[in-house]
Amino acid sequence: MVGITVAIFSLAAMPSCARQSPPPSFSAAVGEQRASYQQLAHLALQQVGDSLTQLQGSITVLLQAPSAESLQRARQQWARARRDWNIAEAFGLVPATGFRPEASNDKLQFWASTRIDGWPLEPELLHRVIAENGEAKIYELSAENIEALNLSEGDGSYTLGFHAVEYLLWGDPRQASSVETIVASLAKTEEETFRRRSYLNLVMSQLLADHRYLHNIWNSGRGSYAQRLTKVSDSVATERALLGLLRLIEQEIVFRTIQVPMRTGSPQLAQSYFSQQTGRDVLGNFEGFEAVMSGRLNSYSGVGMLALIKAVDPNLGNRLNREMKLAGRAILGISESFDATIASSAGDNRRAITEALVTTLFTLRQSLEDAASAMRLNVADNAEPRR
């Protein structure tokens, strides 16, 4: 699977159909929700940038003085940045089924899905780049070279992004890399450790630069996604936000993060396989979902999608609120154990708990579609739910 984690919607991608006028209660409430959504998206992406900047600082300290303590701080900061990225994915950063970046005309889709959060990452190419194998001209360590090598060997051959940094901080679980082993691999001694250190520094700098590029295109000035979003109708803008939530549930949480590794029985296909923190990816994604629905993120408090739905259909809004709470509790129940669940046997109770979570999430997804219908919106995505 190539670059299937991140993509920004094109406003031109909405399905064409005869549009019904929204109910008056929708028109009366949607203005504040639209403004809140754009502010939340900006804050979420800004939060990712801040976390990545702090991660870069932690990696600088780690490379200056490799130790168990400096490695632990870098790992903690990676986990924080990863959580913030998972939250930001709720703001239209998840593609539809079958998205192929190599066939996309959207520069942003290609850039984001293959550079920031490409998955799954196979470490074989990284091994060769770091070890050099006598091919210094091919594997010269430079920003230009690691960009050129990214996806040069097809699916999984990523040399950039969150998971490249993750691999360098944790190693491959199949090799049972200890803290001591990772620290030794970053020591200022032999040529191979020098190359590993250089690579970690390069790929971290590139991840931060790539995110800044993404944030600028989303939110900065004329021609940005945010600016174009102000030019469309209330109905289209709300469809965009709802479709982002539907894709987050179905494509990102259920399909890519839960079902792909569970149904294949391949732990290596887990989103955060190297750090064994895939359950936290689910938790972060759902925090982003809650932010869009509530209109709140950290200290910011605006008007969320749930308030808009309640203005149109109070009973449906209350139903969604109950279902969100059920899903949130269920996700908390698997957030620390999911990576172990992937490798469990068919009769393991943890698998049954995870399947029950999938059912709960599809119920929530259906209620969102019901909300779209109540607001006379079209959120067809040409994607069949995977059950």
Q: Which residues contact 352 (CB under 8 A, 6 or more apart)?
A: none
Give me the residue spans of the domains in the chain.
31-228, 232-374
Q: Which residues are CB-neighbours of 129 under 8 A, at least 6 positions away?
A: 139, 141, 146, 149, 159, 195, 199
Q: Which residue type sits at 180?
A: E
Which residues have a Cβ under 8 Å from the Cβ of 239 and sit 6 or more positions away? 14, 372, 377, 378, 379
- What's the CATH number for 31-228? 1.20.1420.20
The answer to whether 383 and 243 are in contact (CB under 8 A) is: no
Please state, as a whole number, how many other Cβ atoms lie within 10 Å of the Cβ of residue 261: 23
On whether the CB atoms of residues 272 and 167 are closer than 8 A, the answer is no
**pLDDT on residue 332:** 94
Chain segment 123-177, per-residue pLDDT in tens: 888 888 887 654 544 567 888 888 888 888 887 788 999 999 999 999 988 888 8
Q: Do 37 and 241 contact (CB within 8 A), yes or no?
A: yes
The single-letter code of the amino acid at 264 is T
The whole-model pTM stands at 0.90
Specify whether the backbone of 313 is left (phi greater than 0), alpha (psi in -120 to 50) or beta: beta
pLDDT value for 18: 55
Low pLDDT (below 50) residues in the chain: 1-17, 103-105, 134, 136-137, 382-387
Neighbours of 137 (CB within 10 A): 7
Taking the CA atoms of residue 177, residue 180, residue 182 and residue 185 in that order, the dihedral angle to the nearest 10 degrees is: -120
Contact 117, 158 (CB under 8 A): no
